Structure 1
Amino acid sequence: MNVKVLCVGKIKEKFYRDAIDEYSKRLSKYCSLKVVEVADEKTSENASDNEIDIVKDKEGERILKNITDKDFVIALAILGKQMDSVAFSKYIEDLGIQGRSDLVFVIGGSLGLSDKVLSRSDYQISFSKMTFPHQLMRVILLEQIYRGMRIMKNEPYHK
């Protein structure tokens, strides 16, 4: 299985990079993983709704340039479906059985994802109704993909 994590912005904090590196290393046993970062847009504190849409659209165009027609796109979105780790693992496993071996998980910037990216997505998931920094979300996503792979292989995992 080929997994791409497509995200807006670079990770500056060493502790996040270390965690991402650790889960990337662990995942190498189960899948081919690629993390692709696209540039984020500067946004003023008091941005209007129109300015926010412009920022999300610019970031969205950068995201869409990194998605191919054969990719199965899973967007992380607050209004997406919530599931537990076992259901997430089963969902990924079922995609593989259906021949969907190129998965792209998309994490937006601090303002979220553009409507065009959400429209292109084949599925939307939410890890919580809470808001997380997109840098931390990258770590959480990689941990859950890793956990899902271990569940698929009937390997022990922390419940």
Structure 2
Amino acid sequence: MLQIKILAVGRLKEDYWLSASREYIKRLGRLVRISVQEVADEPAPEGISGAVQEQIKMREGERLLRHLRPGDYAVALDLKGRRLSSEDLADWLAGHAIRGRSSLAFFIGGSLGLADQVLERCQERFKLSDLTFPHQLARIILLEQLYRACKINAGEAYHK
């Protein structure tokens, strides 16, 4: 069974994010092994220098990378990443399953994005949209799209 890890900076605090996340994790749990690892985010007040922003991303990135295992195929959610349709994501997941690559890890950065050391470790980068989302919503969108892709691959009704 495919194992998918979501490695994310910051906790979901608001009830609506938590509720949505729990619902999609429950739905996905029938189709794949899914886990979410959250790491602490660093305070990033407005007006900090670029150098300080890089230090913050580096510390967050170190925390994220501690959860990556040697066999994990790593994917960064990144504004410069490749755009996929829901069908493309389904094909991508199926391709990894066919090739026996059973452990996938998706990285979601904090408000400043992902550190260079995380991006360098990732084999691929995906872009969720041309729109910009808060990282909490990006996690929900990723969970929903993974669920949609799994339903497409299972031939079950959901995708319309």
| Same fold, judged at TM 0.5 (above) | yes
Name the residue aligned to 1:53. 54
Question: Distance in 2 between the 1:120 and 1:58 partners?
Answer: 15
Deviations 1:5-35 (A, max 9, x none): 1000011100000000000110011011111
Q: In the TM superposition, what is the alpha-carbon distance from 1:113 to its structure 2 partner?
A: 0.3
Aligned residue pairs total: 159
For the 8 Å contact 2:111–2:135, the answer to whether it is kept is yes
| SS of alignment partner, residue 34 of structure 2 | strand
What is the CA–CA distance in structure 2 between the aligned matches of 1:48 and 1:100, rounded to whole Å? Answer: 40
Deviation at 1:135, TM superposition (A): 0.4
Task: Answer yes or no: is 1:138 the counterpart of 2:136.
Answer: no
The one-letter code sitting in structure 2 at the alignment partner of 1:110 is S
Q: Which secondary structure state, in structure 2, belongs to the residue aligned with residue 156 of structure 1? A: coil
Q: Equivalences for 1:121-136 in 2 at 5 Å?
A: 121-136=122-137
Q: For 1:72-91, what aligned pairs fall within 5 Å after superposition?
A: 72-91=73-92
Kept in 1, the 8 Å contact 2:151–2:159? The answer is: no
Distance in 2, Cα, partners of 1:44 & 1:153: 45
Structure 1: segments with no counterpart, 5+ residues: none
Amino acid at match of 1:28: G
3-state SS in 1 of match to 2:91: helix
4+ residue runs of structure 1 moved beyond 2 angstroms? none
Deviation at 1:157, TM superposition (A): 2.1
- Gap regions ≥5 residues in structure 2: none
Instruction: Tell me the distance in 1 between the aligned counterparts of 2:64 and 2:13.
Output: 20
Work out the CA distance in 1 between the residues paired with 2:60 and 2:70: 19
Q: Which residue of 2 aligns with 1:40?
A: 41
TM-score by length of 2: 0.97
In 2, distance between residues paired with 1:74 and 1:151? 21
Give matches, 1:3-18, under 5 Å.
3-18=4-19
2:77 is paired with a residue of what secondary structure?
strand
1:149 CA drift (Å): 0.2
What is the root-mean-square deviation of aligned Cα atoms in Å? 0.7
Q: CA deviation at 1:43?
A: 0.9
Distance, in Å, in 2 between the alignment partners of 1:150 and 1:107 is 23
Question: CA–CA distance in 1 between the matches of 2:42 and 2:31?
Answer: 34
The residue that corresponds to 1:63 in the other structure is 64
Matching residue's letter, 1:119: E
Aligned partners of 2:5 and 2:130: how far apart in 1? 24
